[in-house]
Amino acid sequence: MITEQESTRPAGSGVDLIEPPAEVEESVGLRRRVFGLAWPVIGQNLLETALGIVDTVLVAGLGAAAIAGVGSALQIMFFVLAALSALSVGSSILVAQAVGAGAIEQASRLTRQSLLWSLILSLPLALVGFAFAGPIIGIFGVTPEVADIGADYLRVTMATVVVLVGLIIGGGVLRGAGDSRTPMVVTAISNMLNIGLTYGLIYGDWGLPALGAVGSAWGTFIARAIALGLLLRVLWTGHNGVGIAGRGGWAPDWAVARRVLGLGVPAAVEQILISGAFLVLTILVAGLGTATLAAQRISMSALSFSFLPGIGFGLAATALVGQSIGARRPQDASGVARVATWWAVGWMSAIGLLLIVFASQIMRLFATDPQVIRIGAAGLRVVALTQPAWAVSMVQSGAIRGTGDTRFPLIVGSIGIWSAVLLAWLALTLAGGGLAVIWAAFLVTSPVTSFLMWRRFQHSMRALQHGS
């Protein structure tokens, strides 16, 4: 049947009616672009998550106190890294927009400045964290045994935070330039090194010293330091035209720093507030006992796996929307966000179903204590129900950042997470309960947050398409 649109085509136009319509070809092209960038990001984060899971499994052999101590230190590290994420977010967005506009030299200069400022800003934090590790862990109110383990672990990780920040920024810059495969390959190499080093340094095998739980921190640091060297090598030689070779652009430039931080600081504040909220949640959990704290640490490891599609498609949306905006093609930006959102929802919903069905089996991978398994499984089943809403929120907020707007995700994301913390505190105070009650608060807040993120992006795209 010939449609009305086809009947209006002039005779002899040369249009082949069996050829796919242009909009179909365009849709296929957008899907390829999204998947081409997203799957390596998902793979990289899967490997990063696997690294954390391997560390948790190895530390679990030392007992619940070791898991709780390491978990407390890692919660602090998440907070610190959130504070340093401004450069990564800002540079990734600006590099993506510069690449989309064809300004490759500008993208390279932004890369050099981002790496330079990461060093300048992370060193003071590393020194402060190393000096005050004991008092910082003390805020959790844990037992002396747990506190000692957590403080030792935190001293090592804080002293080496410069390496981790360099990895995050280097990977973000490459994604902005359209290369997400190199960070994945580098992460794979880091993981293989980490498994052997961490096991040997925890238990003293293969001629390495037996350091206990802190051996996990040292093994991860050494593996990541090697990975950073590989990543810097790639950036030095250049990739997709973006590189750091040459003497120019290495002197601190406040103008570039202001541009990067202007976009990155709101995103960093958002991550700080979110990490702070999870820090408060951890303090609430710590008040419920060591078994619940250990269950929380294990459930967070499992939960981080379910977040992988949302993180991957969200970062892909940021880079590809940024490139589309730089190239002045808002229609492509809308298509990218739509494709990324639907696939993130599908994947995260499927993983959520698996968490519900196999919650107890997942907990048994990490713990043998029946109480820890029971508490953690109950929490996992509740939080699994939030996966579809979180998928929408993660991708849409990433798309919004790609347009250059990092303030709206800050406001909505922060209000959403802290509302959940408040609801959890009220529930524990008024009705009591355990880990499942804390996670249930997110069932209330996450759908609202995801809707607001979606509506904001739609409004931004309409404004761009109408030239306002």
Contacts of residue 341, defined as CB under 8 A and 6 or more positions apart, other chains included, come to 313, 317, 391, 392, 395, 396, 399, 454
Distance CA 365, CA 50 (A): 13
| Distant-in-sequence, close-in-space partners of 360: CB < 8 Å, separation ≥ 6 | 373, 374, 377
Phi, psi of 242 (to 5 degrees): -100, 125
One-letter amino acid for residue 216 of the chain: S
CA-to-CA separations, 68 to 143, 285, 377, 452, in angstroms, rounded: 10, 11, 17, 35
Residue ranges of domains in the chain:
26-465
Angle, helices 435-465/370-383, rounded to nearest 10 degrees: 30
pLDDT digits (tens, 9 = 90+) for 400-433: 988 888 889 989 999 999 999 999 899 888 877 7
Region 268-284: mean pLDDT is 80
Tell me, what's the pLDDT at 85? 64
- Please report, as a single letter, which amino acid is at residue 170: G
- 468: pLDDT strictly greater than 60: no
> What tokens were used for 105?
């030299």
pLDDT averaged over the chain?
A: 81
The single residue listed with the structure tokens 């899967």 is: 46
Locus of tokens 């950042």: 401
Note whether 442 and 463 are within 8 A (CB): no
Greatest pairwise CA separation for the chain in angstroms: 85
Separation CA 247–CA 378 (nearest Å) = 56
Closest CA to 188 of 231, 133, 243: 231
The amino acid sitting at 269 is: V
Chain centroid to CA 88? 11
d(CA 303, CA 62): 22
Asked whether the predicted pLDDT for residue 16 surpasses 50, the reply is no
Amino acid at site 78: F
Residues 446-455: tens digit of each pLDDT:
999 999 999 9
Q: For residue 388, give the amino acid letter.
A: P
Write the pLDDT tens digit of every residue in 46-91.
777 676 667 777 787 788 788 888 878 877 877 777 666 666 777 7
Instruction: Compute the distance between CA of residue 347 and CA of residue 77 in angstroms, rounded to an integer.
Output: 28
**Structure-token match 């639907």, residue found:** 342
